[in-house]
Amino acid sequence: MKTGMILQNSMPPPDIRVEKEASTLIGEGHEVHLLVERNPGEKREETVKGMKLMRGVEVGPLRDKIHRYSFSFTFRDIHWRRAIRSLISERGVDLLHVHDLPLVGEAVRAAREAGIPVIADLHENYPAGLQVWYTSWLKKKTIYNYNRWRDYEYNVLKEVDAVIVVIEESARRLEGIGVPADKIHVVPNTASFDRDEIALDPVIVNRYRDDFMISYVGGFAPHRGLDVVVKALPLAAEEIPSLKLVLVGGRNPAYRDYLEKLALELGCRDIVEMTGWVNFEKIWSYIEASDICLVPHSRNPHTDTTIPHKIFQYMMRGKPVIVSDCPPLKRVIEESRAGLWFRYDSPEELAGQIVKLYRDNQQRESLARNGLRAFREKFNWDMTSGELRELYASIL
């Protein structure tokens, strides 16, 4: 089978979930043709990790701005429509597999013309995400209006042949808005065993040997809960003289500035390190150097129905994890006994959990072993990709 995947983004940089799914399908004998955006100077066609890329939509600042506003009012884009039609006709794909909500509508219209099925792969609760990714009240009232995006989601998912989600809580949300349960397939956002083979950087690992290091890996944004972590630091530092917080990631200068200012005001800036965005291969060294890893997400309809890749990366590296009480995070941690949780808006509870693990090395080691065991036995891509393989087998 020739699968036509659609990703409203460029590649590189890598999209981990897309790469994992493509690798699984290629291993099952499918051809994966991936339609992505094209930046200036990039080849129009290229093979990357077995995926046959088709860079079919030119992007740029003006084009991106026009798309953002026009698409958000109409949910249509003539450039993507033409590119999807070309993907179908030029590559002869038998199925469309579209990643994330925005382009599902254009994929459905093109697929119906060609008489082929469509899979909507929803990485997250997109309508709710728009309410936390952006702070402008005007945008959230107009182009990112929740009710309009929720209605679009409801209507377009009625037209697809199958829906993939990343966690059971997301499946229940879709069932609650009327998507038939037998149409929904849960393919969790777990990590792959092959990532365990990446060489570590001894310079990074050794840099923090004298610190009690807690870390976070990922993007910076208000809904990530990093402000609660910074607020917890002075409380935990009273009991942990060697405490060090390392935030690996970024790409949000305004929020980074806010965190730096907050740390200065609280008198803990000297124990906070922000690395900036690092090469994906380097994150494993920061995780390896950590004593505790964090997923401190704030609670909202978006974070309550998704799960980040990082929690399974932490478990794979055998690290105890502290998470907020977002239902998917709390459930996975309790099922695996891989860590502790705190109320998302309580720096005091977070500080208490950090100090608890600092004082009890035996518990840290036990949680780490539990997480590694849970990853190897259940929360790894080899295990959780079975639903994807079964879905494609049923379509065949």
Q: Which amino acid is at 174?
A: L
Distance of CA 343 to the CA centre of its chain: 22
5 neighbors 22 (Cβ within 8 angstroms): yes
* DSSP one-letter code for 199: P
In total, the chain counts a number of residues equal to 396
Provide the residue range defining the domain that includes 64. Answer: 2-190+382-395
- Side-chain-facing half-sphere of 44: CA atoms under 13 Å: 6
Q: What is the pLDDT along the chain (396 residues), one digit of tens a residue?
A: 899 999 999 888 778 899 999 999 999 999 999 999 998 888 999 999 999 999 998 877 777 777 778 888 899 999 999 999 999 999 999 999 999 999 999 999 999 999 999 999 999 999 999 999 988 888 888 899 999 999 999 999 999 999 999 999 999 999 999 999 999 999 999 988 875 567 899 999 999 999 999 999 999 989 999 999 999 999 999 999 999 999 999 888 999 999 999 999 999 999 999 999 888 889 999 999 999 999 999 999 999 999 999 999 999 999 999 999 999 999 999 999 999 999 999 999 999 999 999 999 999 999 999 999 999 999 999 999 999 999 999 987
Please list, in sequence order, all residues whose beta carbon lies within 8 angstroms of the beta carbon of residue 330, skipping any fewer than 6 positions away. 323, 324, 341
Token pair 């994966």 in the structure block, residue: 32
132 neighbors 222 (Cβ within 8 angstroms): yes
177 neighbors 171 (Cβ within 8 angstroms): no
197 shares a domain with 96: no
At 242-301, the pLDDT tens digits run 999 999 998 889 999 999 999 999 999 999 999 998 888 899 999 999 999 999 999 999
d(CA 25, CA 94): 14
180 neighbors 160 (Cβ within 8 angstroms): no
333 shares a domain with 259: yes
250 shares a domain with 126: no
CB atoms within 10 A of CB 137: 8
126 neighbors 149 (Cβ within 8 angstroms): yes
269 shares a domain with 184: no
CATH number of the domain that 280 lies in?
Answer: 3.40.50.2000
Burial of 373 (0-12, 13-18, 19+ CB in 10 A): middle
For residue 193, report the phi and psi dihedrals to the nearest 5 degrees: -60, -30
CB atoms within 10 A of CB 293: 27
Please list, in sequence order, all residues whose beta carbon lies within 8 angstroms of the beta carbon of residue 241, skipping any fewer than 6 positions away. none
- Side-chain-facing half-sphere of 233: CA atoms under 13 Å: 29
Task: Give the per-residue pLDDT at 342.
Answer: 98
Residue 348, token pair as written in the block? 């005091």
119 shares a domain with 74: yes
Task: Give the per-residue pLDDT at 64.
Answer: 74
164 shares a domain with 249: no
178 shares a domain with 67: yes
Alpha helix (H) residue ranges in the chain: 16-27, 61-74, 78-91, 104-114, 126-133, 137-141, 146-157, 168-176, 202-207, 226-237, 253-266, 283-289, 310-316, 327-336, 347-359, 361-377, 381-384, 386-395
352 shares a domain with 235: yes
Q: Sign (positive/negative) of CA torsion 103, 104, 105, 108?
A: positive
Burial of 331 (0-12, 13-18, 19+ CB in 10 A): middle
At 348-361, the pLDDT tens digits run 999 999 999 999 99
90 shares a domain with 229: no
Task: Using DSSP, state whether 38 is helix, strand or coil.
Answer: strand
324 shares a domain with 260: yes
28 shares a domain with 141: yes
Measure the CA dihedral 16/7/158/66, to 10°: 130
150 shares a domain with 75: yes
Measure the CA dihedral 154/218/376/121, to 10°: 20
- Side-chain-facing half-sphere of 8: CA atoms under 13 Å: 21
pTM of this structure: 0.93
Number of domains in the chain: 2
Task: Give the per-residue pLDDT at 197.
Answer: 67
Q: Spell out the SS3 assignment of 72-84.
A: HHHCCCHHHHHHH
304 neighbors 327 (Cβ within 8 angstroms): yes
Token pair 């679009």 in the structure block, residue: 152
Q: What's the maximum distance between 2 C-alpha atoms anywhere in the chain?
A: 65
